[in-house]
Amino acid sequence: MKKKTLTINNDIFNPSISVLKKVRFNEDSLEFPLGFDAITDDEHKDLWPLLLKCNEASQWWIGDYLVNCEQETMDAKGKVTKSMKVKLYEYVEETTGYSRSYLKQMKSVAARIPKEKRTKLSFQHHYDAVGGCDGDPNIMFTLLKEAEKLGSTVSKFRTDIRTFMAGSGAVRQTINASDADMDFSQAVEQIQKLTTVINKGNLTQSQKDYIKKDLTTLIAAL
């Protein structure tokens, strides 16, 4: 059977026309009909991001597929039965070679981050946001937007999440304590500590602003 040559949608990936004339995308290979040396330095700057985008896109595609498959296999009461889930994941697991846990990760990220909230950052950035923000969509989207603006690497983004959540978590613990009739002087002491976190912590301005909103809530509760 003749193997298919794949067509890259120029509207989605936006590569230069010149590099597409020098590369052939097959189902099981990447070929260079004119030779690898025929690709100029500028064209390489288009080609490598294109390959990365294809890899990133495939994770979103599989995640969205799994989300929609579960929606389509709901029973009469609107619930996805265990047998339906098992069959779905068994099929995708067998045909892709991906582990069940990895497929569930892709599906979880796609389900938690709607298309309009997805950034130009990598799929891994979005995965880390889902896993590191305690399920709070406001924090998740705030940090993703900030990281996109700064062009943060995955490693830097993970550090930013930990730093931000440390400050935000302290605020929330203080708010909960105030609900339990915290002593006024203790509350003031906590506010001072949180202020130090904001001033000395390695936080961006938008992250500081987010935490300050929680501080305002705390002060209002006193």
pLDDT (tens, 9 = 90+) of the chain, 222 residues, equals 455 555 555 444 555 667 788 888 887 788 988 999 998 888 888 888 888 888 888 899 899 988 887 766 666 666 766 666 667 788 888 888 889 899 999 999 999 999 899 998 999 999 999 998 877 888 889 889 989 999 999 999 998 888 887 766 555 555 455 454 556 666 667 667 667 766 766 666 666 776 676 667 666 655
| Residue 148 main-chain phi, psi, to 5 deg | -65, -40
**pLDDT at res. 175:** 47
Domain residue ranges in the chain: 114-222
Q: 56 Cβ partners below 8 Å, 6+ apart?
A: 122, 123
Give the position of tokens 């889930």. 85
Question: Which distant-in-sequence residues (6+ apart) come within 8 Å of 209 by Cβ?
Answer: none
pLDDT, residue 206, reads 67
Average pLDDT, the chain: 76
0.85 surpassed by pTM: no
